Amino acid sequence: MDSRPKLNILFSRDEIEAAVRRLATEIGRDYHDRFPLLIGILRGSFVFMADLIRQLDFPLEVDFIGAASYGCSTRSSGQVKLSHRLQSEVRGREVLLVEDIVDTGLTTACLLDYLRRKKPASLKLCALTDKPSRRKVPITIDYLGFTVPDRFLVGYGLDLGQKFRNLPDICALEEA
């Protein structure tokens, strides 16, 4: 019996490549002479990050941060539960946070707060996908790939129970 979920391609690898190129052009215009620090949110952003930085032809640094899911309930106390810590100094840097998908916005809001407290020179957000219908907290996305419907997505780094990150296309789970 086949218990694999049915997947429909929402954005093909070619469409993703075009979107990543467009984002790189926008980011390059703003950051080419600023030696930015790109910070990817683990684990979902690693595929996007790998493609994005290879379209950026100026000096930059890359780091990753992991937030335990919804570990932001202690936000007001300034504590974020991190599953992976930054290795880089953020103070005074031009920071671009790189996310795979902004859904409720809680993870992103939490990490933006966390980074802002470290006093970067600037802090902006790049997200490959945005699911605005599910938003619980307002988020400004400075560089956005795709707006997506309220469907569960996998592929290109996005997972379902840690699976499907390796799919080259972004797929939506078929609704039952």
Binding site for ligand IMP (CB under 6 A): 41, 44, 99-108, 152-153, 158-159
The option from Mg ion, ligand IMP, none interacting with 51 (CB < 5 to 8 A, set by class) reads: none
In degrees, rounded to 5, the angle at the alpha carbon of residue 160 between the alpha carbons of residues 110 and 88 is 40
Of 94 and 99, which CB lies nearer to ligand IMP in the complex structure? 99
- CA 39 centroid distance within chain: 9
Of 78 and 161, which CB lies nearer to ligand IMP in the complex structure? 161
Q: Is 51 a catalytic residue?
A: no
Q: Which of 51, 100, 103, 130 is catalytic?
A: 103
User: Minimum distance from CB of 156 to ligand IMP (Å)?
Assistant: 10
User: Minimum distance from CB of 161 to Mg ion (Å)?
Assistant: 14
DSSP one-letter string for 20-81: HHHHHHHHHHHHTTS--EEEEETTTTHHHHHHHHTT--S--EEEEEEE-TTTTTTGGGT---
Catalytic residue set:
103
